[in-house]
Amino acid sequence: MNSFIAKISMMVLTIICFHTVYAQKNKAKPNVILIYADDLGYGDVSAYGASKIQTPHLDALAKSGTRFTNAHSTSATCTPSRFALMTGNYPWRQKGTGVLPGDAKLIVPTDKASLPKVFKQAGYQTAVVGKWHLGLGNQVEKNWNEDIKPGPNEVGFDYSFIFPATADRVPTVFMENHRVVGLDPKDPIRVNYQEKIGNEPTGKENPELLKMKASPNHGHNNTIVNGIGRIGFMEGGTKARWVDEEVSTTFLQVAQDFIKKNKQQPFFLFFSLTEPHVPRMPATFFKGKSELGYRGDAILQLDWTVGQIMEQLELLGLRDNTIIVFSSDNGPVIDDGYEDESVEKSHGHEAAGPFRGGKYSNFEGGTRVPFIVAGKGIKKNHVTDALYSQIDLIASFAEMLGQDKPQDAKDSEMLFSTLQGKDKNGRSIYVQHAQSLAIVKDNWKYIVPNNGRAINKQTNTELGNSQVPQLYNLAEDQGERVNLAEKYPEKVKELQDLLEKEKNK
């Protein structure tokens, strides 16, 4: 009898011990969810001062954590920013990292460090859900009806559910791991970015079939899918094609499934939203909900999505053991190629907040984006002016996990305490990338001269190009209005030299 009791006690003890060790192990490894918006501007969030639109869920997130006022994507467009986020390398060091077509090959190396690999190495389950835009496969010519490799699963994601490029580029399909979702072998997909293939209507030839017109002179007039002209031509895959109104909720559902499935173990989720990138075609429920046209409606949908994730974490009891990072891949643009009334209905909304320019621009509007961190170990109800770049996430999380800095992540800095809102300083210098390179140190910003046009008339963006050197004092002039280059030539020289040093690193 005694030995029976002893045995039972031992078993109970073992179970308790196992649970404690297990819990402790997981305690040191908070889940991480990186929610990454597409083209959301600094001024698009009410926590960042937007008054024409309210984003209650993002505001609540900011309140529960740390809101950064000086955090950046590396670049003013999507692919390069995402390349940096994944690899910890400045995209301008490498050719072929500009905005990619939908049939591009994978540009993230499979044999080097990556953000998801940092987590994988620590025993996390990793997933990407949403927009990818970093290419797929080894070459442009590929068979979309077979497994396509390498892709997200080969650069460190255990699970992927993505669309290949942008919402305005073909193929307009989801891919789960290596395969197009919902593919019918009798209706194979073909994709071409050089010339029209198949007999399907295009925006150019059949504008009467469009439910949303392309803006004049922008493109977006190739194959029509769901009443919207796209960039690039596709045929087939009729049943696999997404319906734009369902894209966001599809991604949300998949993200929530992943979270639920992994609630007992550490996970890293890269939740890559498509809002408010064009074509803005939010779920019908959100249409007309903002006063700013579909762009505003898409932002409300994005905000709601963040709220859904937070609610789920709460319900699963994961809120306290999860770090949530929210940001955007580049600054905002109002007219990016479709007549969606975002210009007419902008009502003075300043999507880039107090900053000049926006998506595509050398000015701050190009890369200074909303950046909110909350959850486990993050300072609450806090605002920080520390300089932080998304390129630092890979080294910062390696630091959190007790790893060395990934050697390949050359430009990434271990700044976990900055990420937590604890260290006030962050980076000391930062290279910005759009039309030109720019470098920032101690709030002085130097933009390399170039011959590009000053304004992109189509998108109505001040690109920040100039044939003369530009120097701004961001501490006094965050709107980059007064060029001080002639007044402070020694400052220009200092920053030029620093930039050269960075380039040759």
Residue 36 or 258 having the CB closest to ligand NG6: 36
60 binds, among ligand NG6, Ca ion, none (CB under 5 to 8 A by kind): none
Binding flag, residue 218, ligand NG6 (CB under 6 A): yes
Binding flag, residue 230, ligand NG6 (CB under 6 A): no
The 10 Å Cβ neighbour count of residue 321 is: 18
Given CA atoms 45, 75, 334, 270 in this order, what sign does their dihedral have? negative
Among 145, 166, 223, 389, binds ligand NG6 (CB under 6 A): 166
Q: Least Å distance between CB 118 and ligand NG6?
A: 25
Binding flag, residue 276, ligand NG6 (CB under 6 A): no
Binding flag, residue 278, ligand NG6 (CB under 6 A): yes
Task: Give contact residues for Ca ion (rule: CB under 5 A).
Answer: 38-39, 78, 329-330
Is residue 37 within 8 Å of residue 303, measured between CB atoms?
A: no
What span, in angstroms and rounded, lies between the C-alpha atoms of 47 and 505?
37
CA distances for 160 relative to 105, 178, 277, 396, angstroms: 17, 8, 21, 23
429-433: strand order across its sheet: 429-433, 437-441, 444-447, 470-473
Binding flag, residue 279, ligand NG6 (CB under 6 A): no
Residue 78 or 113 having the CB closest to Ca ion: 78
Tokens of 398: 């390696």
Q: 3-class SS at 444?
A: strand
101 binds, among Ca ion, ligand NG6, none (CB under 5 to 8 A by kind): none
What span, in angstroms and rounded, lies between the C-alpha atoms of 44 and 273?
15
Q: Least Å distance between CB 162 and ligand NG6?
A: 14
Nearest C-alpha neighbor of 172 from the set 117, 248, 242, 90: 242
Residue 220 or 356 having the CB closest to ligand NG6: 220
What span, in angstroms and rounded, lies between the C-alpha atoms of 215 and 203?
11
Binding flag, residue 231, ligand NG6 (CB under 6 A): yes
Residue 232 or 236 having the CB closest to Ca ion: 232
Binding flag, residue 180, ligand NG6 (CB under 6 A): no
The interface with ligand NG6 within residues 93-122 (CB under 6 A) comprises 99
Element (H, E) at 477: none
166 binds, among ligand NG6, Ca ion, none (CB under 5 to 8 A by kind): ligand NG6
Q: Least Å distance between CB 256 and ligand NG6?
A: 25
What span, in angstroms and rounded, lies between the C-alpha atoms of 226 and 222?
13
Binding flag, residue 319, ligand NG6 (CB under 6 A): no
Among 158, 275, 336, 462, binds ligand NG6 (CB under 6 A): 336
Q: Least Å distance between CB 97 and ligand NG6?
A: 11
Tokens of 136: 């797929």
The DSSP letter of residue 287 is T
278 binds, among Ca ion, ligand NG6, none (CB under 5 to 8 A by kind): ligand NG6
Binding flag, residue 77, ligand NG6 (CB under 6 A): yes
Q: Least Å distance between CB 229 and ligand NG6?
A: 10
Q: Least Å distance between CB 416 and Ca ion?
A: 26
Among 133, 230, 368, 445, binds ligand NG6 (CB under 6 A): 133
DSSP state letters, 326-386: EEESS---S-SSB--STTTT-TT--TTTTSS--TT-SSGGGTB--EEEEETTPPSSEEE--
Q: Least Å distance between CB 316 and ligand NG6?
A: 32
- With tokens 């300072």, the residue in question is 379
Q: 3-class SS at 179?
A: strand
Residue 259 or 434 having the CB closest to Ca ion: 434
Residue 31 or 328 having the CB closest to ligand NG6: 328
Instruction: Using the CB atoms, write b or e for 51-82: b if 16+ within 10 Å.
Output: ebbbbebbbbbbebbbbbbbbbbbbbbbbbbb
Q: Least Å distance between CB 391 and ligand NG6?
A: 17
Q: 3-class SS at 419?
A: helix
Number of residues that bind ligand NG6 (CB under 6 A): 17
The DSSP letter of residue 268 is E
Residue 282 or 337 having the CB closest to ligand NG6: 337
CA–centroid distance for 127 within its chain: 14
Q: Least Å distance between CB 458 and ligand NG6?
A: 7
What span, in angstroms and rounded, lies between the C-alpha atoms of 144 and 132?
16
Nearest C-alpha neighbor of 134 from the set 115, 159, 155, 117: 155
Q: Least Å distance between CB 276 and ligand NG6?
A: 10
356 binds, among ligand NG6, Ca ion, none (CB under 5 to 8 A by kind): none
Q: Least Å distance between CB 390 and Ca ion?
A: 12
Which residues contact ligand NG6 by CB under 6 A? 38-39, 77-78, 99, 133, 166, 168, 218-220, 231, 277-278, 330, 336-337
